[in-house]
Structure 1
Amino acid sequence: MQRLLQLTLDMFGPEPTATVPAPRQQPDPAPAPAASASAPTPTLPPQTLQEALAPATFRHPRATREALLDRVAVAYEFRRSKRRTIGFSVGADGLTVSAPKWVPLYEIDKAVAEKSRWILDKLQETRARHERLESGRIEWKDGATLPFLGEPVVLVIDPRHAFGGVGAELKLSEPADDMAALPGVAHRTLHVGLPHHATPDQMRDAVQAWLMRQAKRIFTERLNHFAPQLGVQWRKLSLSSAGTRWGSASADGSIRLNWRLVHFRMSVIDYVVVHELSHLRVMDHSPRFWDTVRAVVPDYAELRGQLKDEGIPRW
């Protein structure tokens, strides 16, 4: 059986793990003093944890330890694992620290203090990103705005476009010539063939069906455009609704792309398409792989950053 190797792009997953070497096993000395940038607080009893962590600026919902980093209280999830190093990751919930079972707690506290600048930067970036996503949440109603290929589009409930008794026909109208040049203003309208009393769920489902059809068409065109440039051949395209992945590629030529990419500008879509096609030549993320991507998309790093920073609209 041909070995299938799948590689993915992260969408909402946690930040890359930062690691520090774990010290050699040694007996625990006396308990560490109270939390500070040089000596974080030791483990708190479960029954008092919620009360003790109440003032924390950043608090993980499964926090079991707390540290004061540069005058900022950080309550984090602590895990014991089989890994060889102390690792730090920052995701939507907050900071998680993982360490080998044999590393004493005072060494964990020391490592957290040493990584305080990195931890605070990542926590602040994650919080800002979450606030941007929440502010862009789509409220499904007549007149709602959603992005399509990087431009705002106004949703119009228009029963005239319904057919067969089912609200499934959508029409994208172009802006007038004298309005098209205004940046950041929605001039395009998406006419949804639904009755005016349609529910938000019906609007959402109708728009999603239309967007997925557009995604299939656009992705196919871009795959066919870039595959010859990379000297590869793709065989199958599947649409994904994954919550944490933009795309994936398999050694047999199968490509999966998240349909929500149609919210982004075409240049961002092209980066993801080239990324996955490049895996058909180099099935890893080695320097050779990134050189392959760069040969077709020289500004891939900037586009990759936009995927990470902007995220997708909340539905």
Structure 2
Amino acid sequence: MTVERDGSLTLRVPPRCDPVRAERFVAGSEVWLADKVRRREEHPPAHPVRAFREGESFFYLGREYRLLVDDLADHEAKASPGTVKLVAGRLVLSENLAKDPRTARRAVIGWYRRTGLRWAASRLQPWAARLGVPEPAVRVRDVGNRWGTYRQSTSDPGTMALHWAIFQLPSHLVDYVIAHELAHIKLSGHGPGYWKLLRTAMPECEERRAELDDLGRRLWLGDVVDGKP
């Protein structure tokens, strides 16, 4: 059972689970759910809004990069629309792209997806080895109210999808999300057996989970100044 970032509740059960048993499980989790609701009320989401102005802060793997709006990059953007780069400690966006917040949003999110995918691919093997699971295919995209998902397959190790926004977090928290999803290859749900498995690969997983809950509520999720997605 998972309380999603929007406050909704997701309960995953085996295919032939008795509905009555599932209802009893939810009813028996009343204290746990009340604690989750209390924490959310005490620490509401505070996701920032971006305007893509010179000097604005963006984060990649926990490090802050100031935005550089550079008209000299326009020729490169015309040749390769959506071009965003890290150059000398600055996140460089062409002036042409920065003029429209929605266009800039697509370009920057595209950059997070590309660079995040390369980074995640390099981290998959070590965590899969620790958990004793095969390496699934990896995608980086918007996965809604979750930081990651894992989808099983009968013909291959399945597919892991990671939210592009997690690559703003420090690397050890991205590792946590990756390990968290890899553990689902062996065990679905978040019962005691699941957490025991995850702790074998990442003994500090509870601490990292709490840190993710705290930092995650302050990540940029794509909101821009004109209020349009």
TM-score, normalised by the number of residues in structure 2? 0.73
Higher helix share: 2
**Identical-pair percentage:** 24
Q: Which residue matches 1:129?
A: 43
- The alignment partner of 2:68 has SS state of strand
**Pair 1:139–1:126, CA change in 2 (3 A):** farther
Q: Give the number of the structure whose alpha-carbon radius of gyration is greater.
A: 1
Structure 1 unmatched runs, 5+ = 1-7, 18-82, 90-96, 98-114, 175-187
Structure 2 unmatched runs, 5+ = 11-22, 224-229
Q: Deviations over 1:174-229 (max 9, x none)?
A: 4xxxxxxxxxxxxx310113438621122211111111101111111111221122
| Counterparts of 1:200 and 1:303, CA distance in 2 | 33
Choose the corresponding residue for 2:165, options 260, 274, 279: 260
The answer as to whether partners of 2:131 and 2:182 remain within 8 angstroms in 1 is yes
Choose the corresponding residue for 1:290, options 189, 195, 202: 195
- The alignment partner of 1:143 has SS state of coil
Choose the corresponding residue for 2:204, options 299, 311, 314: 299
The answer as to whether partners of 2:141 and 2:161 remain within 8 angstroms in 1 is yes
Aligned length: 202
1:161 matches 2:73: yes
One-letter code of the match for 2:141?
S
- The alignment partner of 1:272 has SS state of helix
One-letter code of the match for 1:139?
A
Q: Which residue matches 1:275?
A: 180
**Pair 1:86–1:229, CA change in 2 (3 A):** closer
Q: Which residue matches 1:195?
A: 96
One-letter code of the match for 1:151?
R
Superposition map of 1:49-60 within 5 A: none
The structure whose RCO (Cα within 8 Å, separation 6+) is larger is 2
Superposition map of 1:104-253 within 5 A: 125-130=39-44, 133-134=46-47, 136-162=48-74, 163=76, 165=78, 167-174=81-88, 188-195=89-96, 198-252=99-153, 253=157
Q: Which residue matches 2:220?
A: 313
CA RMSD of aligned residues (A): 3.3
Q: Which residue matches 1:44?
A: none
TM-score, normalised by the number of residues in structure 1? 0.55
| Counterparts of 2:136 and 2:203, CA distance in 1 | 26
**Pair 1:241–1:84, CA change in 2 (3 A):** same
The answer as to whether partners of 2:52 and 2:98 remain within 8 angstroms in 1 is no
